[in-house]
Amino acid sequence: MVWKLITYTELYTPALPYKSTYAIGLVENEEGIRRVVRIDRKFFGKLKIGMVGEVIESWSIFGNIPLFTPSGIEVNEKKVALVTGGARGIGAAISLELAKSGYLIAVADISRDTEAENTIKAISDAGSKALFVEMDVSKYESVEEGIKKIVSEFGRIDVLVNNAGITKDSYLQRISPEMWDAVIKVNLTGAYNCSRAVTPYMIKSGGGVIINVSSIVGLVGNIGQANYAASKSGLIGLTYTLAKELAPYGIRVVAIAPGFVKTRMALAVPTPILRDYLRRIPIPRLIEPEEVAKLVRHIVENEALNGIVIPIDLGTTISSPKA
Amino acid sequence: MGSELEVGVVSAYSLKYELRTSKEVWDMIKEVTEGVLGRVDKGINKEEIDLVIVSNFSDRFGGLLHTAPLVISHLGLNNTKGFRVENACVSGGTALYLAWNFLRSGLARNALIVGFEKMSYLPSSTEVNEVLMLAGHPDEVLIGSPFVSLYALIATAYMNKYGVKEEDLALVAVKNHENGLRNPLAAMQKKISVEDVMKSPYISWPLKLYDSSLITDGAAALILSSEPRKYTDTPVMVKSVALHHDHPGVFQREDLTALRAVKKAGEEAYRSADVTLRDIDVMEVHDAFTIAEVIVYEMLGLAERGKGADLVRNGVTTFDGEIPVNPSGGLKSKGHPIGATGVGMVAEIYWQLRGEAGQRQVPDAEIGLVENHGGTGATSVVAIFSR
């Protein structure tokens, strides 16, 4: 049966008991029968009075909900991922992996260097499109400007990977306030800045995924990394909180906690320390950036994952004594 | 009709409405009860109160039920009858309707109406909206349609039909906030501009935060009497109270842009009071959302269909206009503590007609109208009062 939309609203404030946003419409069939229906939030911004479509009954624990799907609306537009620190290391691998699964990629990084050029080329070689955004995640204005640029170029942002991170390792007494602040500002404040700037766009387009790249160090601590460990633990608290706050808008928030990944950052750790670490974990090797990227892709695709920290650590968290 | 008694309001009292009160709900009830009894010009012996009607939407907003005997016992009354009324946002208007009918038919002589709601009793607006939503049609409740979304369905249809813009609706919010600045009882005394409204976030497109009334704590009380001059030389007479219904579900209504209950109640109220719109000097109407006030104008005959917003733009319903609407600030600025709302509207008209409205006094107001509705207009009460 054909139903015509006679009025509608896009509900941006999640309603209980469903903890969700959606559109609501009134539809009418040829016999003049009217119904109040729910419309999936993926149609936000695309609805018009007079549209026709079909109504199906969708099961819920509260009862069957009439769901209207307008016909002939293109909702399969390309999805967009923003990866901070996306030019190099784990970020580059994530950018490429998501590009391969069809995402347009906004590569945000502090400067457009050779590594950035290589990543951009790899993305376009993989058949997708990359936009480089020069962004200092520690500065809100820079983040806001970058995100506006992405939205004006690609129209939306569906995935945010808060990956940008730095280390300034030392023992507590030798961590200067500047070293402390620098790490916290990039690793933790950066994730806050990007999450805050991107969520209004995600809400408008009906949802999204935020992935915070934490670290095993944020779970178990590590000598000589008080600033880094604190920033990575901070990301976990941010993840738990935003996962609760943003779920009703269709935004999932998940953290991953990699062990030592074969990147320049890990290889900067003094070799004796790294060797000692590997002796103590069940699978004594470094993780490949591509392995982390695959996990990110899985999180993006698996809509049941929310508000958790997923270690990808070759067994570091079960090693004894703890690494 | 000739044998019916004349009924007047002889006292009114209201707490300042608040977004989050520190008062316990029982203390709010006691305060307005004692306040209204203490403000009768010639005094009233509380034993003379033979009817108590409590207006309260939900026990989720205060944690109390069965409140009429609480009030009666608190006052130490022996033969007084009482009950609670719930008719969604028009619980207060319904209390008035019942009290008026009890008194004019001689079933009681003096009625105490107490309206209250402590909406901050629930921790979040999302939970508040879940409770409010239950006043809709079951089909609307099932899919999860908070009231803002139902009014948004009406607004979308209205804007589409009449070419009205979001900016036009915003004018109502600006006017009522301007009025609220003059009302010490208003919960949100804040001047806003059309730009502020337009910049406020969408709650349910096309309605924004500033198109919406306030989730509020508040209590108000009235005393009505069928021997009003025994208690004051200047009662405010209840000329008529009309109550009508429409289909509860927006989807059930032939014309999505009309509030039929308001229209019917308005027509009956004018007719029974033997007045016309031209006689009305001041109105308090149910601006739960900006679109509601615009449509109420049209239902009460102030404007042609589709032209409601023009009244604000042309200054007809502003404070110094031809017919000021919501000089109190309305639900938008004064606040909307559900059970207290309709009671507070009558209190406002009582003060206006007695010349006691302070800075917000409409000069020489002799006849006033209250329009209070519930749900998306499934029930409406329109009442007319005179000096």
Please give the residue range of the domain that contains residue B97: 7-122+216-230
Check: CB of residue B245 under 8 Å from CB of residue B378. Answer: yes
Q: Which of B146, B156, B202 sits opposite A15 (nearest CB)?
A: B146
How many angstroms separate the CA atoms of A281 and A284, rounded?
A: 6
pLDDT of residue A270: 86
E strands, chain A, in order:
3-15, 20-29, 34-39, 52-58, 65-70, 80-84, 104-109, 130-134, 159-162, 208-213, 251-258, 309-312
Kind plus residue range of the DSSP H or E element containing B37: helix B25-37
Q: Is residue B97 part of a domain?
A: yes
CB within 8 A of A169, min separation 6: which ones?
A: A224, A225, A227, A228, A269
Contact list in B for residue A36 (CB cut-off 8 A) is: 137, 139-140, 143, 145, 249-251
φ/ψ (deg, to 5) at B305 = -60, 130
Domain with residue A36: its CATH number is: 2.40.50
Task: Say whether pLDDT at B115 is over 90.
Answer: yes
Q: How far apart are CA A156 and CA A154, in angstroms?
A: 6
Q: Residue A322: its pLDDT value, please? A: 58
The DSSP secondary structure of B358-379, one letter per residue, reads GGGPPTT--EEEEEEEETTTTE
Look-up of token digits 């935004």: A251
Half-sphere exposure of B155 (CA within 13 A, CB side): 31
pLDDT less than 70: residues of chain A: 75-76, 320-323
Paired residues of B325 in beta bridges = B283
What does the pLDDT read at residue A76?
Answer: 65
Q: For residue A218, is it within any domain? A: yes
- CATH (domain of B91): 3.40.47.10
Q: Are residues A36 and A115 in the same domain?
A: no
Q: Exposed, middle or buried: residue A3 (CB in 10 Å: 0-12, 13-18, 19+)?
A: buried
Average pLDDT over residues B62-78: 97
The rounded distance, in Å, linking the Cα atoms of A162 and A146 is: 14
Predicted complex ipTM: 0.93
B144 touches chain A (CB under 8 A): yes
A vs B: CB pairs below 8 A: 95
- pLDDT of B15 strictly over 60: yes
**Among A70, A97, A126, residue at a domain's last position:** A70
Identify whether A116 is part of a domain. yes
A323 domain residue, yes or no:
no
Tokens of B171: 């004018």
Q: Which of A23, A52, A70 is the last residue of a domain?
A: A70
Chain A contact probe: residue of B154, B200, B251, B295 with most A CBs at under 10 A: B251
Give bridge partners of residue B377 from the DSSP assignment: none
Q: Chain B residues with CB inside 8 Å of A62's CB?
A: 142
- Give mean pLDDT, residues B48-71: 97
Q: Which of B143, B252, B256 sits opposite A24 (nearest CB)?
A: B143
Are A195 and A310 within one domain?
Answer: yes
Tell me what the pLDDT averaged over chain B comes to: 97
The total of other beta-carbon atoms located within 10 Å of residue A59's CB is 8
> Residue A75: inside a domain, yes or no?
no
Q: Structural domain of residue A57, as residue ranges?
A: 3-70
CATH number at residue A199: 3.40.50.720
Per-residue pLDDT tens over the stretch A29-61? 999 999 999 999 999 999 999 999 999 999 999
Residue B21 lies in a domain: yes
**pLDDT tier, B1 (very low <50, low <70, confident <90, very high otherwise):** very low
Query: Is A41 touching B (CB cutoff 8 A)?
Result: no
**Using the beta-carbon criterion (under 8 Å), do A36 and B160 form an inter-chain contact?**
no
B313 in a domain, yes or no? no
Same domain, residue pair A111 and A63: no
Nearest-by-CA chain A residue for B147 = A15
Residue B128 forms part of a structural domain: no
Residue B162 covered by a domain: no
Q: What is the pLDDT of residue A269?
A: 84
Within 8 A of A11 by CB-CB distance, chain B residues are 145-146, 148-149, 152, 203-205
Residue A132 maps to a domain? yes
Cα-only R_g, chain B: 19
Q: Which class for A174: exposed (0-12), middle (13-18), buried (19 or more C-beta within 10 A)?
A: exposed
- Does a structural domain hold residue B360? no
CB-CB under 8 Å, A20 with B204: no
Residues present in chain A in total: 323
Domains identified in chain B, total number: 1
| Arithmetic mean of pLDDT, B258-283 | 98
Q: Is A112 a member of any domain?
A: yes
Same structural domain, A92 and A186: yes
pLDDT given for residue A15 in this prediction:
85
| Contact between chains at A7 and B160 (C-beta distance less than 8 A) | yes
Which region, left, alpha or beta, applies to residue B106 given φ > 0 means left and ψ of -120 to 50 means alpha?
left
Whether chain B has a CB inside 8 Å of the CB on A308: the answer is no
CB contact under 8 A, B153 and A9: yes
A120 plus A232 within the same structural domain? yes
